[in-house]
Structure 1
C-alpha cells in the first residue's frame, strides 16, 4: 500500500494485487477490505479489474533485474511477471478500458539487464500499444534519509495530452542518469520516436537526518551487549574503523548505518566485513532473503558506542510511512514488507508533478 499512500486521499483505489498473503494482510489492516486480491498475477483476469482506471501502477519483482540477481531479466520467473501484467493491460485495451497512465517501478538494474535489451523491450511494448513513455531515476535520499535509487517508467496513452511544461528537450540532472541516457541511446527507432524526456520539478531540500528516525527504545530489537558491539567493530577494516574513531572524536551524537559484506583480505581469502557510513543517510533497505544482510545501526556519542539491528518502525519511517501505519508483529515480515516497497514521498512527487497534471488536462 505504499504507492497508494503516496498517491494520497484524493485518489480512489479500484484494485490492488499481491501474491503474498502476509503482505496482503498488512494491506487490509491499513486500507480495509475490498480492493486487494491475493493471487498470482498470472491467474488474474480482466474481469477482476473493475471500471476504468486513470492510472495503473506496477511494481514487479526485481530479483532477476538487480545486479545481485541471477541475470535472467524479463525471462526470469520473478521479474518475468511483467508479461502477465502486460497481458492484463492488453485485455483492458481490447475492452476499451485502457488506463491513461501506466507507471512501472523497478531497480536501476533494469536499464542494463541483458545489455539494455530488457529496458528496450518494455519501451517497445508501450509504443506498440499506443503509449508514449519516458523514464526517470529517483533516489529516495532526496526525500528521506535513505539511499534508494529506483527507475520509474511512465507511459501515457497517445490520445492523452501531455502539458508542454512537463516535456524537456533532453535529459535533465538528476533524473536522467548516465545509465538511463545510455539505455535510451540503445533504443530501436520506434520506442525512441515515442520517447518523452520528463521535465520533473526538483524537490525542496530534505531537512531530516538518519538520526532523526532512530528510536531510543525500539520494539523487538534489543541493543547489543558490549561484547557484541566489540565483535562488530572487530569486523571493520582500518578504513571503516577510522570512521568510528572520527565520530567519537567529534563529540557529537552520530548514527551510522552498517551492512555486513563479504570481501577479500590481503591474502585473497573471503572474510566478512562490517562496513559503516556516517553521511546522515541509511543504506538501501533490502528484503532479508537470498543472503542479503539486515541493516544495523551504530550510535556513537563520545566514547559511548552502541549497536543493534535497525527496528521495523525505523525501516517504515525510512520508507516515508507514518508511525500509525500498522506493521506486521513479526520482525522479518515487517522488514520484508518495507524493504520490498516504494518510498511514499517519491510517489507523491511523481503524482504531483507528472501524473496529476496530465490527468487534469
Structure 2
C-alpha cells in the first residue's frame, strides 16, 4: 500500500490523536504533555469512562465514546488524526493471565483496533501505536507479536518494537511493549539494545515482516530508589495503618531472609518505605517485601493478592497498610488526577490497568512527534530526566 499523505504538523499547532482502549485517559495525559491533541477516545468500561469524564471535564473539542469497539465503524471516527494510540487488553497475553494470546476473549479486541484503522482507508493516521505487556513477545512462541506486526504491515505501516519500563521515569517496575507503526519510516537505523533487547531481535530478523529501528535518544536509566517521594503523608495514628494484630501477622508470615531485611531497615535512623505483595508459597499465603526502594508493578484491585502493601520502617518502629489510591495515581505519573467522588477500588482498578503517563510523554516527544515532523533521522533533543514530566510530581 502506498504511503499516505497527511497535513504537516507545522500547519497546525497540535497534531490530533485518536485514543483507543482509553481507560481513564493516562495515554491522553502523556500525549497531550508531548504536544498532541486527543480529539476522540473510546473505552468499554463504564467505571473507567466515569473517571475519564470526572477528570477531563469534557469540552466540545473532545469526544469520548463509551461502548464496545465492535459496534463502531470507521465512519464513526474523526478522519483528520495524525496518530492512533491503542492500549489493548493484556489479560490473555500476561504471564499472570490465560495466555490465550491475541485470539483470547479480551485480548482479541486488538483486531477491532486493526479493523477500524483499516476502515479509515486513505485517511488513517500516519502513526499508529500498540501498547501491551511484554508477554505479547512470548505469547504462542512469538507468533502473536509477529501477527500484530503483519496486521500493521497490511495497513501500510512499518513497525518498530520497543520495550520500556516505567521505572526509567517513576519508581514503579512496570515493563511494557510498544509497537510503533509508521507510514513513512526513517531510512536510518539504530540497534539501541536498551530499548530493543535480545528477546525482541527475532522480530527485526524476520524478512517477512516490514520493520524499522528509529534513531532515538537514550532514555533515563532505571530508577533504583525514590519510592518515599511518592508516599502519601500520614501520621502514625492514622486509621489506615493496620492494627497491631494484623501487622504482626504480616511480619510473622515473612521468610527468614525477608524478616532480616525488615529488621535491618527497622533499626536504621532514617525512615524508609518498601512495598510488599502477598504470595502463595507451598500452598501457604505469605508476604514478600521488595528489597529495593521501588514499587512493584501496580495491578488491578481484584482480590488481596493483587494489592500492594506499604511498609514503613526505621527508628526502631515498623508499620504496614494498604497502598492508597493517591499513591496509585502518583506512581503512574498522574499525581494531580482528579480522584474526588471515586471509590477506592474504582481508582485502583483504573490505574492498575493503564499505561504510565511519563512513558507516553517520552515517546510522544522523542518518537511520535519527530516521526510526523520528518526528522527522526536527525539528532534529537536531550531526553526527559526522571522528574521533568508534566504529571510526574
TM over 0.5: yes
Matched, 1:53 2:81: yes
Matched, 1:180 2:208: no
Matched, 1:82 2:110: yes
Matched, 1:318 2:331: yes
Distance 2:224 2:141 in 1: 38
Matched, 1:32 2:49: no
Partner SS for 2:37: coil
**CA distance 1:76–1:203, change in 2 (3 Å):** same
**CA distance 1:138–1:42, change in 2 (3 Å):** same
**CA distance 1:272–1:176, change in 2 (3 Å):** same
Partner SS for 2:42: strand
Deviation, structure 1 residue 208: 6.6
Written as runs of structure 1 = structure 2, the 5 A alignment for 1:1-361 is 1-8=25-32, 10-33=35-58, 34-93=62-121, 96-157=122-183, 160=184, 162=186, 164=188, 167-168=189-190, 170=191, 172-185=192-205, 187=206, 189-191=207-209, 194-204=210-220, 209-217=226-234, 222-264=240-282, 270-289=283-302, 292-326=305-339, 329-361=342-374
Distance 2:369 2:32 in 1: 11
CA contact (8 A) 1:112 1:183 kept: no
Distance 1:249 1:290 in 2: 32
Deviation, structure 1 residue 163: 6.9
Structure 1 stretch 319-328 or stretch 42-51: which is displaced more? 319-328
Per-residue CA deviations over 1:118-160 (Å, capped at 9, x if unaligned) read 0010011112221110110000011000000000000001xx2
**CA distance 1:196–1:214, change in 2 (3 Å):** same
**CA distance 1:117–1:291, change in 2 (3 Å):** farther
Distance 1:103 1:238 in 2: 45
Per-residue CA deviations over 1:241-294 (Å, capped at 9, x if unaligned) read 111012123322110100001112xxxxx1111000141100000112277420
Q: Over the residues paired in the alignment, what is the CA RMSD in angstroms?
A: 2.0
Deviation, structure 1 residue 47: 1.9
CA contact (8 A) 1:287 1:335 kept: yes
List runs of 5+ in structure 1 lacking aligned partners. Answer: 265-269
Partner SS for 2:49: helix
List runs of 5+ in structure 2 lacking aligned partners. Answer: 1-24, 375-393
CA contact (8 A) 1:259 1:274 kept: yes
CA contact (8 A) 1:64 1:71 kept: yes
Deviation, structure 1 residue 200: 2.8
Q: TM-score, normalised by structure 1?
A: 0.90
Distance 2:30 2:272 in 1: 30
The aligned length equals 343
Distance 1:142 1:221 in 2: 33
CA contact (8 A) 1:144 1:208 kept: no
Distance 1:236 1:86 in 2: 47
Distance 1:215 1:333 in 2: 19
CA contact (8 A) 1:65 1:71 kept: yes
Q: TM-score, normalised by structure 2?
A: 0.83
